[in-house]
Amino acid sequence: MPEEQLFKSEESRSRAEIADALVAAAEQIESGTVTLESGTDTREVTVPESSQFEVELERLTDSETGEQRYELEYEVRWTE
């Protein structure tokens, strides 16, 4: 299935700012409409009453430097 990226945002934020953003996202998901904004890009999507919810924690190691980083991802997925 081909993938089409509709929106992406990535920036450094403090832990408190990330928590605030997740609380705001949770409130939007609960309302059923999520608005994504970054610079000049804005997207709005309706989240159905029932969806798949995935939480993933990964540890990745850079093959050249051996440096480790972690990724914590929350994903909401549905079909139309």
Question: 36-60: per-residue pLDDT in tens?
Answer: 998 888 999 999 999 999 999 999 9
Q: Write down the pTM of the prediction.
A: 0.84
User: Is 6 inside a domain boundary?
Assistant: no
Nearest Cα neighbor of 51 from 35, 36, 37, 32 is 32
| pLDDT one-digit tens code per residue, 65-77 | 999 999 999 999 9
Task: Provide the domain limits for residue 36.
Answer: 15-77
User: Is 29 inside a domain boundary?
Assistant: yes
User: Is 20 inside a domain boundary?
Assistant: yes
User: Is 3 inside a domain boundary?
Assistant: no
Outline where DSSP puts E strands in the chain: 33-38, 41-46, 52-61, 68-77
User: Is 31 inside a domain boundary?
Assistant: yes
User: Is 44 inside a domain boundary?
Assistant: yes
User: Is 7 inside a domain boundary?
Assistant: no
| Number of structural domains the chain divides into | 1
